[in-house]
Amino acid sequence: LKSHPKARPAAVVAVSQPPPVRMEGGDPAVMGEGEGEGGGGPNGVQQTQWKPSWKGYGWGKGCGWGKGWGGCKGGLKGGMMMMNNMKGKGKGKWQPRWPSGPNLARARVSSEPVTGEVLEWKGKYGWIKPTVPVEHPMADRHKGHIYVSINDLQGGLEALTVGSLCQFHLFEDASGLGAEEVIGS
């Protein structure tokens, strides 16, 4: 059986054996064949025992083919540790750093309607830039833009057109400022 070209050479481990126990009138043939005084091997020299450098079989250390799921970059052991350092794909569902979404507890901030321009619409939510900057402690979040959800649109609207003006009331939640009761033009 040929070894793989990338396989590591087997490690040489020196193993010392205890000296033979001599019984009275002991026979050297019983103590071990050719072993003399001092133990170990012939003439007291330590014997070496060959041990493979890997467990199981394969290329060694789980890199490549062989037993188990491997421990190299693509394997389950070492690969999972690498995935902890990865960002984005491969880590499961992304978790936001702070609460977000349209269902957070709200507190209305404005008593009069505010106007603003629709910056972007992403299907179910979007961002509005108020025409007059809002003076509020949370106004700096999200670059001063106001979050709007499809649930907050009124008058049968299902989407906002980018670049159009709209009127809305401001609310505050754990994520920042948002628009409710939005009327598009």
What's the whole-number mean pLDDT along residues 98-122?
A: 90
Whether 166 shows a pLDDT value over 70: the answer reads yes
The alpha-helical segments, DSSP class H, found in 37-154 are 76-85
Nearest residue to 141 (alpha-carbon basis) of 86, 88, 100, 83: 100
Is pLDDT above 60 for 25? Answer: no
CA distance 169 to 158: 18
The reported pLDDT for the residue numbered 117 is 97
Per the CB < 8 A criterion, the answer to whether 46 and 40 are in contact is yes
pLDDT at 106: 92
Q: What is the mean pLDDT of residues 92-119?
A: 85
pLDDT at 159 exceeding the cut of 90: yes
Helix (H, G, I), strand (E, B) or coil at 137: coil
> pTM for the whole thing?
0.48
Name the band, by pLDDT with cuts 50, 70 and 90, for residue 109: very high
- Could you give the C-alpha distances from 101 to 51, 71, 147, 178, in angstroms and in order? 60, 40, 9, 10
Does the structure show a pLDDT above 50 at 32?
no
List pLDDT tens digits, range 49-80. 655 555 555 555 555 555 555 555 554 544 44
DSSP-assigned beta bridge partners for residue 50: 12
The answer on pLDDT for 33 being more than 90 is no
Task: Kindly report the backbone phi and psi dihedral angles of residue 50, in degrees, each rounded to the nearest multiple of 5, phi listed first.
Answer: -85, 125
Bigger pLDDT: 105 vs 98: 105
Mean pLDDT of the chain: 73
Query: pLDDT at position 111, please?
Result: 93
Please return the burial class of 147, using the count of CB atoms within 10 Å of its CB with bins 0-12, 13-18 and 19+.
buried
Coarse DSSP helix, strand, coil percentages of the chain, rounded to the nearest 5 percent: 15, 30, 60
For the cut 80, the answer to whether the pLDDT of residue 122 exceeds it is: yes
Give the pLDDT of residue 116: 97
More confident residue, 53 or 151: 151
Confidence of residue 35 (pLDDT cuts 50, 70, 90): very low
Average pLDDT over residues 73-89: 51
